[in-house]
Amino acid sequence: MVQFEVTVNVEGGLHARPAALLVNCSSQSQSKITLSKGTKHADGKSILGIMTLGVSQGDTLTVQIDGADEQNVATAIQQLLEQSS
Partner 1 sequence: MLRSLFSRKKQQQEVTFLAPLTGTVLPLSEVPDPVFAGKVVGDGVAILPSADTLVSPVDGKVTHLFPTHHAIGLSTESGLEILMHIGIDTVKLNGKGFTPFVSVGDQVKAGDKLIQFDKSVLENAGCPIVTPIVITNGDMVAEKNVVAKATVQAGQEPLMTVVLK
Interface with partner 1 includes 2 (CB under 8 A)? no
Among the candidate windows 17-25, 32-40, 61-69, 72-80, which touches partner 1 by CB under 8 A? 17-25
| Residue 41 in contact with partner 1, rule: CB under 8 A | no
DSSP type of residue 67: S
Count of positions on this chain that bind partner 1 (CB under 8 A): 17
Residues 6+ apart with CB under 8 A from 15: 51
User: Is position 76 an interface residue for partner 1 (rule: CB under 8 A)?
Assistant: no
Q: Specify whether the backbone of 82 is left (phi greater than 0), alpha (psi in -120 to 50) or beta.
A: alpha
CB atoms within 10 A of CB 54: 12
- Given the residues 13, 15, 46, 78, the one annotated as active site: 15
CA-to-CA separations, 48 to 3, 43, 70, in angstroms, rounded = 22, 9, 22
- Minimum CB separation of residue 60 from partner 1 in Å reads 17
52 binds partner 1 (CB under 8 A): yes
Q: Which residues are catalytic?
A: 15
